Amino acid sequence: MSLLAKLFGQDTKQIPKLDLQNQLVLELSAELQALDALPITTKKEREDWEAARQLFDKKLRTVWSSIYDSLPNELEHYLSDADIRAKDEGYARHQRKQLAALLSLRKERPNKGERTGSG
């Protein structure tokens, strides 16, 4: 793990998972995954990524504003750290691990003793 990841990182167990039952969250998740798939190796790729990030950020504050407050701070770090990810592979792995934890399906489990069926 890189020094930056150690200094600024959080254990992914502490990152809340998004509610993938919510349609807005599903849309945000899909666009976030598409953003993450964009390469950031060259200066041109980083410029293209930044343009895509700006569009994502605009939607984050308009279309997805109703869920914005429920999103963890790690998302803001991810959105602002493309230049660091491009230079530091350890930090890039760390942020992608956090992103994967954030986007992983939250499985709702019934409480012990709670019935799941009708009978």
* pTM exceeds 0.85: no
In sequence order, the 6+-apart residues with CB closer than 8 A to the CB of 78 are 95, 98, 99
How many CB atoms neighbour CB 85 within 10 A?
A: 21
Q: What confidence tens digit (pLDDT) does each residue in 75-99 have? A: 899 999 999 999 999 999 999 998 8
Nearest-angstrom CA–CA distance, 87 and 80: 14
pLDDT at residue 57 in the model: 94
pLDDT at residue 94 in the model: 92
Q: What confidence tens digit (pLDDT) does each residue in 7-56 have? A: 444 444 455 556 667 888 889 989 999 999 999 999 999 999 999 999 99
Copy the structure tokens of residue 49. Answer: 């990524």
